[in-house]
Structure 1
Amino acid sequence: MATVSVEVTLDLPAHLVWEAIADVGAVHRRLLPGRVADARIEGDLRILTMPDGAQVRELILAVDHRIRRMAYAVVEGQRLPLTYHHAAFQVLDEGDHSRLVWLTDVLPHAMADAVRARVERGIEEMRDVLELNESER
């Protein structure tokens, strides 16, 4: 299994970043507006609707407030030919700043570079949205 690890430093305290990550039903508003058109929760599933109408179903595995970690597995609707996709976010406190870490495990191994490109772009978008939203408060 290939593991993709990306991280970004945010000019925000960890508790603010964690609030957005832990709000799993609001990814389309708080983290990736424009990339995700809608999100809804049905039990332990998060159903993401993309701007083109395609849907991705994710099983929410953990939302751990103590260690600021959220884990999920994509179970349906992947846009890449993956047979396995598990990921986790963790928010680390660095004083006035925070670090957001996104670990993604995928199969087949050969898809790691394609996944890395998407995850790198996504984490940068999340950072920009979070920092912009906080500066507008």
Structure 2
Amino acid sequence: MASIHREIHVATAPERVWDALRDVGRIHQRLVRGFVSDCRLDGDVRVVTFGSGMTVRERIVDVDDARRRVVWSAMGEPFSHHNASVQAFADGGGRTRLVWIADLLPDALVPQIGPMIDQGLAAMKQTLEQDDPRG
């Protein structure tokens, strides 16, 4: 099984970052504008449409307020397994460190999924910093 680990630092307070991150049905508006063009909830599943037009169904596994962590699992092809999380940590000075971890099969998807995670994190940083009133 392949694991992808990425992290970024965002010049936004962790409370503000968590408020956007935990809003799992509005990530296209509050968290990753442009990278995700639409998102809607269908029970505990969110249907995510990426800017590329690709649509994925993701089961929301956990929204953990104490740990500021969201966990989801992409369902169906091309994955035989997918589980991912993003967690927000206080980084001092009103900043946040975001950690994204994805575990997936088949391993051959890493060259496709790794760059998508990088794009997602870049969109998070841009969206969160643009929306920060201190900014």
- Regarding TM over 0.5, the answer is yes
Q: Against the structure 1 CA distance between its residues 136 and 14, is the aligned structure 2 distance closer, same or farther, given a 3 Å change threshold?
A: closer
Cα distance in 2 for residues equivalent to 1:33 and 1:22: 15
Match of 2:104 in 1: 106
Residue ranges of structure 1 left out of the alignment (5+ in a row):
none
TM-score normalised by the chain length of structure 1: 0.88
User: Following superposition, which runs of at least 4 residues in structure 1 exceed 4 angstroms of deviation?
Assistant: 51-54
Cα distance in 1 for residues equivalent to 2:51 and 2:13: 31
Match of 2:83 in 1: 86
Cα distance in 2 for residues equivalent to 1:19 and 1:131: 14
Question: What RMSD, in angstroms, separates the aligned Cα atoms of the two structures?
Answer: 1.8
Question: How many matched pairs?
Answer: 134
Cα distance in 2 for residues equivalent to 1:114 and 1:52: 13
Cα distance in 1 for residues equivalent to 2:110 and 2:54: 22
TM-score normalised by the chain length of structure 2: 0.89
Residue ranges of structure 2 left out of the alignment (5+ in a row):
none
Letter of the aligned partner of 1:68 in structure 2? R
Cα distance in 1 for residues equivalent to 2:39 and 2:63: 17
SS of the residue 1:125 aligns to: helix
Match of 1:133 in 2: 131
The percentage of aligned residue pairs carrying the same residue is: 34
Match of 1:23 in 2: 23
Letter of the aligned partner of 2:55 in structure 1? Q
How far did residue 54 of structure 1 move?
4.4
